[in-house]
Structures are given as structure tokens and as C-alpha cells.
Amino acid sequence: MSNILVVVADTTCARIFKATSSKGPLEEKEVLVHPENRLSEKDLISDRKGSAFSSHGSSQSTYSKHTDTKDQGTKEFINEINDYLLKLESKNEFKQLIIIAAPKLLGALKKQLNSGLQKRITYELNKNIAKLNADEIRSHLPKYLALTNL
């Protein structure tokens, strides 16, 4: 069992690493993928905007959905990441959690985590580095990952 879990995420993937020692390399454990967020907004919505006719005169207007489809997809992906972390927490697979996420994602992800997971966060980095290799990701982290008080 590794005591340190590192989550590196953007809106399309979350890479889960474990640290086998406080100053050693990261080992990739799992990759969660949300390919829908790679699509453009127009590819996610199959129909064009709806039309409405005014009952007064001959004017026509268009309207769009109030819910942004891509934001909804991101919320679903955050829920998926949260569920995965809860599963690992229930199996006691980590004691410390490090989160590195794209700026748009970090705050939303932290809000979704329950208090138990939030208490395990020992380091966070507001940066989009999910596409880097494990050694490059490790270079963005402190030299020593473990905190002695957990």
C-alpha cells in the first residue's frame, strides 16, 4: 500500500499515481478518461438552436439551452473522479492526497470531495500538467511528499 496518492487532472483525463516513497518516483495506477470534453460544443449538441415566433408581428428569434453542455460534462467527470477516490479511500489505499489540476477544474474538484477526502489533501497545484510524463509531473512536486503528522 502506498500512503500517497497523486491525482493529475484536466477536463478530459485524470491520471492517478501512487508514490512508493516520499522522495521517489511516481507510479501510474489508473487513468480515468472523459473524451466527451475533447469535442467542440457544436459536436456535443446534435440540433441547432430552436426557433420561436412572436405572437405580435412577424419577428422570429432563436434561443439556446441554458445549460452549457461542456460544463455539464465536466461536472459528470468530477463526480467520476470523486467516486473513484471514495472507492480507494474505503479500501484504505492512501492516507495523503495530492491534487494537481487545470485551473478551471481544481476548485470544482475540491468542492465535490467529501470532508474525509479534503482532510487527506496535503498538497495542491493549480496547473494543467496532465499530459506530462510521470517524471515531469514529479518535478513539479516538493522534494519530500510525505507529511509526518498524518
pLDDT digits (tens, 9 = 90+) for 68-78: 655 788 899 99
- Name the average pLDDT for the chain: 81
Domain ranges of the chain: 4-40+64-139
Q: What is the pLDDT of residue 43?
A: 44
- Kindly report, residue by residue over 129-139, the tens digit of the pLDDT: 999 999 999 99
Model confidence at 46, in pLDDT bands (50, 70, 90)? very low
The closest of 41, 35, 8, 6 to 21, measured between CA atoms, is: 6
Q: Which CATH number fits domain 4-40+64-139: 3.40.50.300, 3.20.20.70, 3.40.1280.10, 3.30.420.60?
A: 3.30.420.60
Distance separating the N- and C-terminal Cα atoms of the chain: 15
SS3 21: coil
Whole-number percent of the chain with pLDDT over 90: 60
